[in-house]
Structure 1
């Protein structure tokens, strides 16, 4: 039962983090150039790899730092992610170039490479680390990957069918509110634990 709860937490947190994120825009852009299934498989593979790195970092941090401080840091980071989400992400010219690149013959490998690089140090990678410091790595890894793939599947479908962006401001506001709520709860718990 705990595994399923953590899986749901990881899925939900990363789904929200990915909505309106730069990598979701990359997924949409890639879907205008490659078959949707190729983009989805490439993104899934890249996400498994990046989020494996994230949960590894989270495990190392979890062993090195006291739980109270990790909870406080995770809460503050979610508040920062909320502000980051409100500010919004846009594709830079470099991101557009990467998404349009056809240097690698295989569409699958191109999508994997572009998405892996775009995801390194991104908000969703950092959010996975934050969630991973709180829970067991396996359900966080699987859940964060699932949340990312679900959010990007929406972008892929829209990119393939419409070739247009999601209504960004509404998505940003909803995601920011979710981050602020989770961040406030985790920060409060962290402050209580540190004070004890």
Structure 2
């Protein structure tokens, strides 16, 4: 349960102001069809994060516990710094909307590509390796993405200016830093850290 809750919370916070959330705003404004957009976000995130979670689970079988502790601890600290860097939508990721795939297909392709190498994908790899709970982490990170992106789709521009993005990113960075420090210090070993 802890893996699910931590994964949900960290990714929901990390996603605020992220390029995929900006993409959700863009798709909502362009297509004005929230249900297929939300379904597309869910499908793309589930597939993307399942792959990331599988990679995280595989990494745990390849590294010694001591090496894994250092890799994960430093990864969480790097995520704490990275989350403070604002995202922008790249022109090539926005270009997915030009494909003739319909709203659902366009959303799946655009979100899947935008999420490749993104903070939340990397966080999913690290969380899956940290907690050794593939299903709980993938379910949590997917729910976290939905918590951040579904309101963006339904509320669009009205919500964008009211969310204190810097504050939310600061809280998420603190959580990642705490996870990194706890991992490096070996705290919570009995809790799956």
Which TM-score band (shorter chain)?
0.7 to 0.9
Partner residue in 1 for 2:151: 154
Q: Give the CA deviation at 1:67.
A: 2.2
Q: In the alignment, which of 11, 17, 26 is matched to residue 20 of structure 1?
A: 17
C-alpha displacement of 1:127: 0.4
Please give the secondary structure, in 2, of the residue aligned with 1:87.
coil
Aligned match of 2:45: 47
TM (norm. structure 1) is 0.85
Say if 2:133 is the partner of 1:124: no
- Residue 157 of structure 1 and its aligned partner are, at CA, apart by 3.0
Deviations 1:25-47 (A, max 9, x none): 11121111231211111000001
Q: Deviations over 1:53-104 (max 9, x none)?
A: 1111112111111123222211211111111111221123333333xx2322
Which of 51, 60, 63 is matched with 1:62 structurally?
Answer: 60
Per-residue displacement from partner, 1:130-169 (whole Å, max 9, x unpaired)?
A: 010122211111111111111112322332x627454332
In the TM superposition, 1:125-140 aligns within 5 A as: 125-134=121-130, 135-140=132-137
| Other-structure match for 1:108 | 104
Does residue 37 of structure 1 match 2:38?
A: no
Q: Does 1:6 align with 2:8?
A: no
TM-score (norm 2): 0.86
Aligned twin of 1:72: 70
SS at match of 2:147: helix
Q: Unmatched 5+ residue regions in structure 1?
A: none
Please provide the CA RMSD for this pair.
2.0
Partner Cα separation in structure 1 for residue 52 and residue 152 of structure 2: 23
Q: What runs of 5+ residues in structure 2 fail to find an aligned partner?
A: none
Hey, what's the Cα distance between the residues in 1 that align with 2:37 and 2:7?
A: 22
The size of the alignment, in residue pairs, is 185
Alignment CA distance shift 1:157-1:180 (3 Å): farther
